[in-house]
Each structure stands twice: as structure tokens, then as C-alpha cells.
Structure 1
Amino acid sequence: MSEQRMRTDQDQGQDQGQGQSHSQGQEQSPRRTEQPRVVIVGAGMAGVQTAVALREKGYGGPVTLIGAEPHPPYDRPPLSKAVLLGQAAGSAFDIDFEGLTVDLRLGLEVTGLRASARELDTPAGPVPYDILVIATGAEPVPLPGTEDLAHVHLLRTLDDAERLRPILEQRQEIVVVGAGWIGAEFATAARTAGCVVTVVEAADAPFAGALPAEVAAPMADWYAESGAELLTHARVAGVEPGTVVLADGRQLPADAVVVGIGARPATGWLAGSGIALGPDGSVTADERLRTSLPEVYAVGDCASFPSTRYGERLLVHHWDNALQGPRTVAAQVIGETEQVYDPVPYFWSEQFGRFVQYAGHHEFADTLVWRGDPAGAAWSVVWLRGEVLVGLLAVGRPRDLAQGRKLIDTGARLDRERAADPAVPLRKAVV
């Protein structure tokens, strides 16, 4: 695999003092005479922001950022929007890595971790580290049996978007498997381009597993409004050239198939490393994003963390998590060990002409309160546990989201009747 490398002066700041970090159940490492080498694996949002946060906090030791893709580090949300539609050539981060003295190594795949030697295995040879940050993100789940079919696509990387762009330009007939967030965003772009779009979903409503069916059901109408066809209770039995075959025997014409059935932590390269992984494949970080190995941290889509706020371990596959978590990691590295990570999860999606935002975690809520008519252009839903606001979904109501996110963070209690009135600002529903 090719390797692109930006050389920097790694001796800068070597004598400025000692960086510190800690690990679950581990004693602090012996004192060093120079600042430790920080190596970050993964050049997506989480990895890039970790490097930036370290420099913003004054860390002067050597920082290496390793990315498996050959492209300069880029933001992912535009891939399903402007990049896919040809409205932007790319979405590279506007960051001066050379100015930050970050050693950027691109097109380099990390294949293993040898913790006893504090080395990473790569095709270009071992990469030593003193402090390691795992930020390898998530990878899309493929549709079984279709991995080698040229007309079946995933949408996760810049190369994926580039392969899909001409399909949209040619206005081909497309079947999307999965009516989750990625499926909805791709269907939106494909309809904007004038493609014939059919979305196949095994559940009884879109966003299965992410939202309760009663909340997701009204969102199914958005597909028909856009000109896309949504088939629920529909399972894919097989994919043939030009056709998707459903379990009930129906055959759907398909010049291309786009799969959006979920993502899983990209942690396969950690097999045999001794690092603790959860049943979902995530690196099980603690409340300070430390892993089970000494001076190894994990952040972003590949890491789960315990939430005191919600009383369970969370695995959050969203942009804001990859933006916020690095600040905690950087704090640990420079010795600000009192900082813990317990955010209010947040994400957004642009689909079918609507801006959808979500904050919190509604899994253990006992009350759902509607704010507005879900058949309208703007409405929201709040989830309460007792009287405490724990989650909120806002469609075209950004003020609800902004206020609700702050109220979730403070554990505010709401009056249900006032919360149900869309004319009443959420902050005025606090009791």
C-alpha cells in the first residue's frame, strides 16, 4: 500500500516537560526525560481533532497521525450530500498539519498492535509509540453475499462517493437497502439527481432501532413525497445483475444497489492485542476514554464509554461524538486527569428537505410527548423519565433542539402539558 508522509520537526518541545496519562487499573508510567510520542491511528474527525486538541492544550511532544486512506483527512457528512451530487470536489479539513507539527502518514494501514513492545504493525514496518490513541471509527456492514458485486455499493468513504457520483449523474435506477440515516440521506440525493429510487426496509418503519415505530411512522411519508418508493417488511433474498430479489419473490430492477444497514466499530486490527473489546466490537473505554492497556486511549465511533447520565455504556456513531471526545483525551495526555466524558449525545440529518436533529438518549424514557403535528413541516418529540427530560427529536424546530439539549444536560424537569404545547418554548416548560 502506498504511503504519503509529511515530515515535521519531531524534536520540537522535547525538553519542555513531561506529558502524563493514565490507564484503567494501571499505575502511572515511570518518569520520562522527554515528552512522549503520541501516535493516533485513524485520520477521520476523531483522530484529527485529537491532534488539534493536543496542540491547543499546549502539548509540545511529537504527534503522529496515521490514516489508511491516501486522501488528506476529510469530513464525512458532505459525502452523502454535496460531494455525492458533484457540488463539491471533496471535504478536506481546513487544517495546517505542517503548521501544527503533526507528522501525517497517509495511505498506511495499521494491521496490528503489540502492546508489550509499544509498537504498531504496518506494511511499512513497525511504528513505535509512547501514548496511543485509537480513532479508527466504524465501517459499514455489507449485505451478505454481495461483497464482490461491482454494482453493489457502500457509502462511507470519499472513494465510495466518487464511485456513486456518476451513477447519480446518469440517473440510473437504484435500490437502497436499509431505511436508516444513511439510506434516507442517499435516497434524498438520488432523487435530487433524478434517479428512480426504491428503498427496501426489513422493519415496519424507517429508522428501526434508532427511533420508536410510532415516531418513525410519520417519517415514512417523506419518501413518497420525494418520489421515492419505500417498501417496509421487505427482506432481500439475493442480488443478481440488474435485479434485487426479495424474500417474497418480488424482483426490483436495479442498475445499482446501495447498502445502508448499519455500521460496526473498525477494530478488527486489534485482534490478539489484549485490548478489551465489548460484544459489539467497540473498544471499552472508561469515563476518561482510557482503555484496558496502559497509555492507550480510544475515541469516536470505535469506542464505547460508560455514561453516568444514562446509567449504561454508550456507543455513539455520530459526528459530534468524534468532535467532543478528543478534548477529553487531550486533557488526559497533558495531565488534566479530572476531566471525564459524559456528553449529551447529539446528531443531525438532512433528508427530503427537512433538517432532523436529535439530542439525548431515550432508551429508558417512560413518557413520550409530541410537540406539533407530525404531518406538518415542523414538529418535535420529547422523552421524559418521570418528569426529567432525557431525549428530544426535532424536525424543523432548531430552537427546540438548542433549548432541549441544554435542559437535558442540566437534568431539567418539565411540565408535560406545557411541553406538549409547541407554542411554549421548552425552557418555559421547566418546573
Structure 2
Amino acid sequence: MTPSIAIVGASLAGLSAARALRARGFPGPITLIGDEPHLPYERPALSKQFLHTGAPTALLEDHSETAQLDAQWLLGHRATGFTPGSRRDDDVTDADDMRPDRHDSSAHIGTGTRASERRHGGSTAMTGSRTTDLRDCGHPTAHEPWHSIRLEDGRTVVAEIVILATGARPRRLPGVPDAHYLRDLDDARRLRVLLSGAKHLGIVGAGFIGAEVASAARGLGVEVTLIDSAAMPGSGALGTTVASACAALHARNGVRLLTSARIEAVRPDAIHLVGGTRVAADAVLVGIGSLPNTEWASSGNPRLHSPNGFPVDDLGRTAIPGVYAVGDCARVTDPVTFGHTRSEHWHAAITQANTVAAAITGTAPPPRTAPYFWSHQYGKLLQLAGDPTAATGLRVIDGALDGESFTVLYELDDIPVAVCALDNPRLFTRHRKQLDRALAVAH
């Protein structure tokens, strides 16, 4: 029998997993569980054009795709517990029994009844009709125990295969209850209202969220100070040389950047730093990283426990058979270095989802590609592909680091291992493709 799949997390990683499963021919029931009431939307836009223009945030899928996915959507339902390998019993709720038209008229749903359900009377979360070779791949089948997902309202959803895609949450700044954070659509709406009346915005954390909000705030005429504890923010991802060029971009756009700074106190009108510096701020945004949303499932499950994300192998498999993890909550094994990393970028979420879908369906895995991310700041596009930390040298191949556009190659023994560009997408794309081809040949 075809197994049922529950995807916990209905944002980019979860939706991408459902898309990839269908694209690879998986015919069985898929249930997507999300804690937000909204259909999946583009989160990168929240710190960019949404803050600046208030333009509606685009959905990641439309109604026609929703029908094609033929999945059960359970939105506005937070997962609070996970029991691997539990047996189905009478007090367990099928996902079909939780349909909004039965229980919750406020939830959003986009699904149709599968042909196999109409024929056999099965529910969306619990039935399937195809004999597969998943047992040979080490995955549970209809004859094996069910995994149980407990929801905040006390009900339980069960499935034979579970994909954990619960993302991450902002790391909080202790002692500053009135600080703002940016992670979801509701955060962005509150922040946009705040910026409409703010004169001085203090941003704690000069990473990509902080930098993008600084850019949007300057576009709205708000004075901005970026505060970071690092000597050169962004050097871990970009290297010191390129990070310095990005710092200069802030300065050219009127943003004050304070580095190696430690916060002593946050008052209603100012941020006080150790050493006596006072930063005027009638609004405060904190962007000091994130914490993966893993506690709900790892509590009581030591095989899922990790300090920084669900640990998975290079196929996205956790230590529990039939349980996978993708996206911001996953700590993925690098097939080359065998180290574990957690990547919070759009490209990583889609790539991991495709890898997991291949593992579940027994189809060919996607080709390995270079890590990639982008950022929009002050009307410019910053792009990075590859692994700058593996480089021993840096070479500027176009533009100038102190100019309005540049492209640099990070090299190891004269071999490119990464490329970064500011406002030069065509040249960047050429070198990114070369990195991808080199990885495909090597693996």
C-alpha cells in the first residue's frame, strides 16, 4: 500500500516537499500542517519591498496548483508533540476529520477528494492504493507503525511518513520586551506601521535581515543605526574583504554602523552601549539570528535532539525511520565534509525538499548544486554562491569593491569555490553555473 505522508510546516520547505513528491509521481495522500492561518507566501519579500511599498505579499502557490497538489491543508494548527512509531487507535483523528468544513470555518484549505478515497472511502491522511518498494528503502509501509503528530487543540494526526519542516523563530534579546522582530507576515505588518511614524530606528544585528530592514527604513526617510557585536558583520558568510564592501554600502546610504558593540540597556528613546555611547531610537528591531523550531518534536525523542536543528543525513533522513527534516529546522550532513550545517536560505529549502522527495519515492536524487542566496539592499542585488570559507584567496574579476558594482571569485589553489557579486547578475550567473557543473562532475 502507498504510505501516507504528513508534512509539518506549510511554508516554503513544506510546500516544496509536496510539490516535489507530486512531480516525482507520488500518488498517495499528503497532508500539510501549518501554524499560520495564511497560505504559503514569499517570506524574503517581507524585509524588502513589503516594508518599503506595502505591496501585497505574493503567495507561493495559486488555486490551480493547490488543486494539482491534491493535498489536505490544515492551516492555523500548531504542532505541539510528536510520537514516532505509534499505533493507530480509536482516539486518533484522521486528517480528513479535521477538514474546516467539518470543524473550523476560519481555516484555509485547498484540496479535493482523491479518486482512491472515493473508491475506498478512506481519509486523506490515512489511505493509499499503490504497492511500492518503499519497504526496501527502509521506509514504513501500511503494515508498520504510524507516527503521531499532536496539535495544539488536543487532536492528533497520524501518518506513516513524516517530513519535519517547522522552520525557525527569531532569537530574542533578553530584557527588551518591546523590541520588534521580523519573521512572518504579521511581524512585517507591525513593523511597517511602526516605521511609518518612527524617526530613529535602532537595529540590533547587522546580518541580512538587519541590513535589508535598514535599507527599507532609509527608503522611508527613517534615520537608522545598525549595531553589531562583531568586528565586521557578515564576515562569516562573505569573508572580511567583501563584508567590508557591504559595510561601505551602508555608509554611502546614510546608515550608521557600530561594530564590536555591546548593549548595556534599551530605553524608550535610546539604546545605551557599554562604554557610554547613546544611540537615539524611538523604535528597535532585533535581528540576531534564529533558533530552529525543534522542541515540539525532540522533547522525549533523543534521536531528534540536537543543539541546532533536527540532525539528518545527506538524504534528509533523521535517525527515526520514515521521518525526514527539511528547511530552516534541519541540520544537514554535507556529503563532502560530513559536517552538519543549518542553512536558512530559499535555495537550500527547495534543494532539500527535492532530495527528500527523491529518497521517499526511490527516484534519482537531484544533482548537487552550490549553496546560493541573495539580498536586496539600497536598490542593489547582492548574490553569493558556493562556500567562501573553503577559499584561500579572493580575486576581483569585474568592477571594484569600493564601487557600485563588483564580482569576486573565492579560490582554493586557483580553483573557484565561490562567487559573489553586487549588481552584476549576468556575470554572477555564468560563474554560478560553472560551480554547479564542477560539483556535478565531482559527484
> Given the two structures, how large is their TM-score scaled by the length of structure 1?
0.82
C-alpha displacement of 1:312: 3.1
Partners of 1:226 and 1:178 lie apart in 2 by 18
Partners of 1:268 and 1:276 lie apart in 2 by 9
The residue aligned with 1:304 is 331
The residue aligned with 2:372 is 346
8 A Cα contact 2:164 2:326, kept in partner? yes
* 1:140 to 2:109 alignment: no
1:300-326 superposed Cα distances (whole Å, 9 cap, x missing partner): 111122223455333211011112221
Partners of 1:268 and 1:341 lie apart in 2 by 32
1:9-35 superposed Cα distances (whole Å, 9 cap, x missing partner): xxxxxxxxxxxxxxxxxxxxxxxxx32
8 A Cα contact 1:287 1:342, kept in partner? no
C-alpha displacement of 1:333: 1.8
The residue aligned with 1:101 is 70
Partners of 1:50 and 1:249 lie apart in 2 by 50
With 181-190 and 361-370 compared, the bigger mean Cα shift is at 361-370
Partners of 2:372 and 2:390 lie apart in 1 by 17
8 A Cα contact 2:237 2:388, kept in partner? no
Name the SS for the 1:46 alignment partner. Answer: helix
With 166-175 and 310-319 compared, the bigger mean Cα shift is at 310-319
Partners of 1:341 and 1:241 lie apart in 2 by 51
Partners of 2:415 and 2:334 lie apart in 1 by 16
The residue aligned with 1:36 is 3
8 A Cα contact 2:198 2:283, kept in partner? no
The residue aligned with 1:130 is 160
* 1:47 to 2:73 alignment: no
With 340-349 and 71-80 compared, the bigger mean Cα shift is at 340-349
The residue aligned with 2:408 is 381
Cα 1:342–1:298 change in 2 (3 A) is farther
Partners of 2:335 and 2:71 lie apart in 1 by 34
* 1:258 to 2:285 alignment: yes
Question: 6, 31, 46: which one pairs with 1:79?
Answer: 46
Partners of 1:383 and 1:257 lie apart in 2 by 35
Partners of 1:137 and 1:400 lie apart in 2 by 32
* 1:314 to 2:341 alignment: yes
Report matched runs for 1:234-313 at 5 Å.
Answer: 234-270=261-297, 271-279=299-307, 281-310=308-337, 312-313=339-340
What stretches of structure 2 of length at least 5 have no aligned partner?
Answer: 87-146
Cα 1:77–1:161 change in 2 (3 A) is same
The amino acid across from 1:201 in the alignment is D
Name the SS for the 2:404 alignment partner. Answer: coil
8 A Cα contact 2:239 2:388, kept in partner? no
Partners of 2:70 and 2:338 lie apart in 1 by 40
The amino acid across from 2:339 in the alignment is E
More helix by share: 2
1:162-188 superposed Cα distances (whole Å, 9 cap, x missing partner): 000112222432100111111110000
Partners of 1:210 and 1:143 lie apart in 2 by 22
8 A Cα contact 1:345 1:360, kept in partner? yes
Name the SS for the 1:377 alignment partner. Answer: coil
Name the SS for the 2:421 alignment partner. Answer: strand
Partners of 1:158 and 1:65 lie apart in 2 by 19
Partners of 2:365 and 2:60 lie apart in 1 by 27
Question: 197, 212, 236: which one pairs with 1:170?
Answer: 197
* 1:325 to 2:352 alignment: yes
The amino acid across from 1:112 in the alignment is G
With 296-305 and 310-319 compared, the bigger mean Cα shift is at 310-319
The amino acid across from 2:166 in the alignment is T
* 1:114 to 2:141 alignment: no
Report matched runs for 1:173-252 at 5 Å.
Answer: 173-252=200-279
* 1:88 to 2:55 alignment: yes
1:298-357 superposed Cα distances (whole Å, 9 cap, x missing partner): 111111222234553332110111122211211222222x52674310000000222100
Partners of 1:411 and 1:246 lie apart in 2 by 47
The residue aligned with 1:61 is 28
> Given the two structures, how large is their TM-score scaled by the length of structure 2?
0.80
The amino acid across from 2:27 in the alignment is G
The percent identity for this pair of structures is: 39
Name the SS for the 1:89 alignment partner. Answer: coil
Cα 1:388–1:308 change in 2 (3 A) is farther
Partners of 1:353 and 1:98 lie apart in 2 by 37
With 219-228 and 83-92 compared, the bigger mean Cα shift is at 83-92
8 A Cα contact 1:265 1:302, kept in partner? yes
8 A Cα contact 2:327 2:348, kept in partner? yes
Partners of 1:250 and 1:360 lie apart in 2 by 38
Q: CA RMSD in A?
A: 1.8
C-alpha displacement of 1:229: 1.2
Name the SS for the 2:389 alignment partner. Answer: coil
1:245-296 superposed Cα distances (whole Å, 9 cap, x missing partner): 11112222211100111123221212222333444x2111111111110101
What stretches of structure 1 of length at least 5 have no aligned partner?
Answer: 1-33, 413-431
Name the SS for the 1:163 alignment partner. Answer: helix
Name the SS for the 1:72 alignment partner. Answer: coil
Partners of 2:305 and 2:419 lie apart in 1 by 30
Partners of 1:110 and 1:122 lie apart in 2 by 4
The residue aligned with 1:423 is none
